[in-house]
Amino acid sequence: MSILSAAYRYRFHLLLFIVSLMTLLFLGNAPAKSQDISTLNRERNQLTLVTKNSQDLKLTENVHRTVLENGLTVLIKEVHTAPVVSVQVWYKFGSRQEAPGVNGIAHQLEHMMFKGTTSRPTQFGWLFSALGSDSNAFTSYDQTAYYGTVERDKLKALLALEADRMQNALMDSEHLASEKRVVISELQGYENSPEYRLSRAILRSVFPNGYGLPVGGTKADVEKFQIEQVRQYYRQFYHPENAVLIIVGDCQAQETLAAVKEIFGSIPKGQQSIVNGQQSTVNSQQSIVSNSKSPIFLREQGSASLLQAVYPLPSANHPDMPALEVADYILTEGRNSRLYQALVESGLATDISGAVVSLKQGGWYELLVTADPDEDVSKLTPVVNQAIAKLTKTGVTAAELARAKRQLESATILSNRSITDQAMQLGNDETTTGDYRFTDHYLAAVHQVTSADVKAVLKKYLHPSARKVGIFQPLTNQNKEIASKQPPPQTRENLSGNLPTLPAEMLRYLPVIEHDEQVNNKTLQVPQQFTLANGLQVLLLSDRSTPTITLSGHIQAGTEFDPGEQVGLAALVADSLMSGTKTKNAVTLAKALEDRGATLDFEAYRNGVQIEGNSLAEDLPVLIKTLADALKNSTFPQKELELNRQQALTDLKVELDDPAAVARKIFLQSIYPKKHPLHKFPTAESLQSIKRKDVIAFQNKYYRPDSMVLALVGDFDTEEVRSLIQAEFGDWRASGSPPKVEYPQVSNPSNLVRVNPVIPGKAQAITYMGYTGIKRQDPRFYSALVLNQILGGDTLSSRLGAEIRDRQGLTYGIYSHFQAEKDFGTFWIEMQTSPEDANQAIASTRKLLQNIHQQGVTATELEMAKRSLTGSYHVSLADPEELTSNILMNQVYGLDKTELHTYTQKIQQVTLTEVNQAARELLHPDNLVVVTAGPPILAHR
């Protein structure tokens, strides 16, 4: 199971589990990848230490652990696969240490840690960005963590910044006031999710305090926070004795430890103190399930019906946890799992997920079932009960047990491919279980689980009397679109074009960087490229750093080819490719992958079908053979097609209840005319009109080898893989030329256009604003990238972030983006605001665009943007998934094969004149389409 698969599988409990500083994702036509929470799926893998056999240790065999005299725990792991290093500081302080009345103070403090220090009174996001660091932070139940991954010559600089804010964080009332508004905006964003609201109600019932409190806090508590209160918590929990410093990457352990001692060694130990009259330590978590056997019912505005069951569990180190984790996989992982067969294959539900949530002082097992709003969700409970009871009574088969173990092993190895992920695993294991070697022991423990163990834990923990059930039943939504062709009333404010801190000043706050010429001069390996006789393009890059395979593919069969009356056809075809072939039914096809812990996914986007596959190296033949079978031999059985159609209809209802999805859809439809490919979005009617013959015809017409590109990075011999691909795909044939679609030229609006779709029951508004943009081949592309980085490439290190988020506190997140595709381009700005702040945020954004359009940017901003873009690019190439995606899309865009290596040079060559010219040509503050979806927009308070 890949990192992304794990994030999707546990997307719900991750939302509750981790409240990150920056979790907003771009919602473009390209697949969105989680910027932070996807790497944190290790939280769920907290299993018991069953074996102490040192020869079984693999992931942590070269980790060096040291405790400094001031109590700071230091973990250093040398990984010399790429010239990058990850620095992470994990504090043993999360929402578990809070109490009603101060709920959310750990998360509030996390936000304040980016406001600067007494020696560096500037936004730390700017400093991290100038280092080219992939940085972020999160708050969880048991920890708060800060992490950044940089080129190795910036290691000491990153250490200096983290040491500075460990002891010198700058906190004043003005900063707190603005960040409280930002946090409230974030919390209201979570409130938009029915899943969040349901789980919050259940967990409060199961755990009245501690883990039952929302990680991010509540609006009522956040509004009451005082600056001295936040400072007190900072003094109490932010000190070396309560922290773990993790360094993973291309470094020398002894030299790095010496640097750590020099930079962190003088920070004093913490003082034992009492916060608000309460001891900082908390008694073991007690689960208290409501005496009432009745489920918790929520009947509110929403989309799909939900059933959630929560079963209290012991802490992470309890000896029953390995068997519970195996039981979860048997119940919910993949098409061959027990609950998928009972609920999804039967048509009762459209999705089922499970998660073992293992924490320091307790945890829970949760099941989440998604059904169509028209279904009686109460009918699902007996089916869940029967499936678990049957498994408890008859036990698991040898095949099921072996499959679950393999899936767990693969998930663990695949989630440790990148430098950042390896550091995450160490930090989480050390702070949650007290042992950084925990994951290695966990793998050994999983291997020892027996069928009897699974039966025992099911009987002990997953019986009906132990759980709390919640049901969400949606009310019907009526979206109201209120459009105006005239400029709306604007909120007047004093907005200067200046930044809170001038970029020239910020540069002097950067620590000294010990430049390593070998980092910049390191020559990346060039992928081997070949084309089969049928036109299939293949790119291979051997990488022996981990025993894994990362596969990424692209077929020009996206939603741009949807017939006007059957919008949704391309997506239905992609979703149904694994529904059965000439020789295998859907279950057998999935079993080939699931037995090996491999994944293979297809998803249609506007201009293509994205293929994502992951496996252990030894399972590459299974991955390739399954891919070839699905592409060449899919038969689209009627039963499976109906199940996928129902899933699509449910997804559509969910999207209509999602302000981000609604805003993006209406934004694109307001820019592009009805006959334009970007105007088309599926409806219930268009999905219902699709017949099996239409699916077969679409697949035959658009799925062709000469419109496909395949890229693989991993532990393989390129000649062997080349032979394997030739054997599996060489007989794939297509006739004629590949179909093409026309993208007509579209003009920008002549004035400001406002559209405000109202979605009942939402607390937070999502705004999209923009117009058509440049294509990937446009000569201004690199200038536009630099311009965008300055404008809104990052919430914490951009003009938009500095003004709209930091100074005015109007949004939790704001980004800008030039989506430059092969055949079209769109520019947009996305932001999340309270309904009463939306108009002011829009007005402020337009004024800022006007300022950059007229006055341009500064030379210092140009330099900082270049540093950020080039540094983060080098860091991204150390991640196999990012590297594979880059190789693939460069080929899809028709770029030169050297683009992988010359990209940073092209960024460096961009001049100030070119950026300011791009600002004049590409930023149009008076010709915007502005769509705000969510609650009714209110006048600013």
pLDDT of residue 73: 98
Predicted confidence band at 408 (pLDDT cuts at 50, 70, 90)?
very high
* Count of Cβ atoms closer than 10 Å to residue 531 Cβ: 12
Instruction: Read off the pLDDT of each residue in 134-159 and give the average, rounded to a whole number.
Output: 96
CA–chain centroid gap for 24, Å, is 8
- pLDDT beyond 90 at 712: yes
Distance CA 680, CA 606 (A): 10
pTM score > 0.85 for this model? Answer: yes
Question: Residue 548: which residues within 8 A CB-CB, separation 6 or more?
Answer: 413, 414, 417, 614, 615, 616, 617, 714, 715, 880
Q: What is the 3-state secondary structure (H, E, C) of 830-869?
A: EEEECCCCHHHHHHHHHHHHHHHHHHCCCHHHHHHHHHHH
Predicted confidence band at 90 (pLDDT cuts at 50, 70, 90)?
very high
* Count of Cβ atoms closer than 10 Å to residue 447 Cβ: 14
- pLDDT beyond 80 at 160: yes
pLDDT of residue 502: 61
Tens-place pLDDT, residues 678-691: 999 999 999 999 99
Q: Which residues pair with 930 in a beta bridge?
A: 754, 769
Terminal CA-CA length for the chain: 48
Distance CA 534, CA 720 (A): 19
Distance CA 336, CA 400 (A): 9
Predicted confidence band at 57 (pLDDT cuts at 50, 70, 90)?
low
451 backbone dihedrals φ, ψ, rounded to 5° = -60, -40
- Torsion, Cα 189 193 196 201, to 10 degrees, reads 110
Residue with the larger pLDDT of the pair 443 and 386: 386
Asked whether the beta carbons of 437 and 60 are under 8 A apart, the reply is yes
Distance CA 133, CA 546 (A): 23
Q: Which residues pair with 833 in a beta bridge?
A: 765, 811
* Count of Cβ atoms closer than 10 Å to residue 177 Cβ: 12
Tens-place pLDDT, residues 629-680: 999 999 999 999 999 999 999 999 999 999 999 999 999 999 999 999 999 9
193 backbone dihedrals φ, ψ, rounded to 5° = -90, 120
Closest by CA to 615, choosing from 728, 729, 727, 721, is 721
What Cα–Cα distance (Å) separates residue 551 from each residue in 528, 554, 587, 709? 15, 10, 22, 11
Burial 892-913 (b: 16+ CB within 10 A, else e): beebeeeebeebbeebeebebe
Tens-place pLDDT, residues 97-131: 998 899 999 999 999 999 999 999 999 999 999 99
- Torsion, Cα 418 420 423 424, to 10 degrees, reads -110
Mode of pairing for the β-strands spanning 468-475 and 296-301? parallel
- pLDDT beyond 90 at 48: no
What Cα–Cα distance (Å) separates residue 898 from each residue in 436, 875, 880, 895? 40, 18, 18, 8
Average pLDDT, the chain: 88
pLDDT of residue 865: 95
Residue 144 burial class via C-beta count within 10 angstroms: exposed 0-12, middle 13-18, buried 19 and up: buried
Residue 858 burial class via C-beta count within 10 angstroms: exposed 0-12, middle 13-18, buried 19 and up: middle
Burial 878-890 (b: 16+ CB within 10 A, else e): bbbbbbbbbbbbb
Mode of pairing for the β-strands spanning 537-542 and 708-714? parallel
- pLDDT beyond 80 at 600: yes
Tens-place pLDDT, residues 765-801: 999 999 999 999 999 999 999 999 999 999 888 999 9
**Sign (positive/negative) of CA torsion 334, 339, 342, 348?**
negative
Instruction: Read off the pLDDT of each residue in 470-499 and give the average, rounded to a whole number.
Output: 50
Predicted confidence band at 841 (pLDDT cuts at 50, 70, 90)?
very high
Distance CA 751, CA 396 (A): 65
pLDDT of residue 599: 97
Instruction: Read off the pLDDT of each residue in 794-813 and give the average, rounded to a whole number.
Output: 92
Mode of pairing for the β-strands spanning 144-151 and 243-249? unpaired
**Sign (positive/negative) of CA torsion 328, 330, 334, 335?**
negative
Tens-place pLDDT, residues 207-225: 988 899 999 999 999 999 9
What Cα–Cα distance (Å) separates residue 308 from each residue in 139, 209, 611, 648, 677? 24, 20, 31, 21, 39
